[in-house]
């Protein structure tokens, strides 16, 4: 990961009322405003496929003005119900097409301005593939911290 394009989002003490410094750290990268953010992070082998973490990140980023593209939201919109999952289920047995989902994810990464890496991303083959594409395309990278 090239360090000149990696940014850290500080812990936001009150997401409904972030300070100017918190907003600037999370919204401005160099001289340009971040418009669209793709969320990347681990899903498999995490309870509920980690959808609650994706939802929390999306909520926070939208609250400070970003357009968020979340693979968890896309999966839900496509009919995937994570609510009874422990994260270890056979996705094919649930009727989930992993190849189709990953192709959608990569197209979404290509269209977004920035990739936001959720904690644990380094343990996810999918998130690492999304990061590799983002870096190849010169996207900014945000290492997210969410409480």
CB 129 within 8 A of CB 135: no
CA-based nearest residue to 26, from 127, 114, 110, 105: 114
Q: What is the pLDDT of residue 69?
A: 95
Tell me the mean pLDDT per 10 residues along the chain, length 147.
Answer: 48 54 50 75 94 92 87 93 90 91 96 93 96 95 74
83-104 pLDDT per residue, tens: 889 999 998 998 899 999 999 9
Question: 36: buried, middle or exposed (CB in 10 Å: 19+, 13-18, 0-12)?
Answer: middle
Provide DSSP, 56-119.
Answer: HHHHHHHHTT-EEE-HHHHHHHTT---TT--S-S-TGGGT--HHHHHHHHHHHHHHSSEEEEPT
SS3 9: coil
State the Cα–Cα distance between residues 26 and 97, nearest whole angstrom: 33
Q: What is the pLDDT of residue 84?
A: 86
- pTM for the predicted model, two decimal places: 0.78
143 forms beta bridges with: 8, 117
Q: In which domain, by residue range, is 88 found?
A: 3-143
Q: What is the pLDDT of residue 117?
A: 95
Q: What is the pLDDT of residue 11?
A: 53
Q: Please state the domain count of the chain.
A: 1
CATH number of the domain bearing residue 100: 3.40.50.10400
């Amino acid at each position: 990961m090239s360090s000149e394009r990696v940014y850290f989002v500080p812990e936001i003490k009150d997401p409904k009322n972030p300070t100017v410094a918190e907003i600037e750290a999370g919204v401005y990268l160099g001289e340009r405003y971040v418009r669209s953010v793709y969320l990347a992070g681990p899903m498999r082998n995490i309870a509920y496929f980690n959808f609650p973490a994706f939802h929390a990140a999306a909520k926070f980023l939208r609250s400070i003005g970003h357009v968020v593209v979340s693979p968890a939201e896309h999966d839900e919109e496509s009919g995937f119900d994570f609510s009874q999952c422990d994260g270890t289920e056979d996705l094919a047995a649930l009727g989930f097409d992993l190849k189709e989902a990953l192709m959608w994810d990569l197209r979404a990464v290509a269209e977004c301005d920035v990739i936001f890496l959720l904690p644990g991303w380094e343990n996810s083959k999918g998130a690492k593939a999304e990061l590799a594409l983002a870096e190849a395309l010169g996207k900014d990278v945000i290492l997210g911290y969410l409480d």
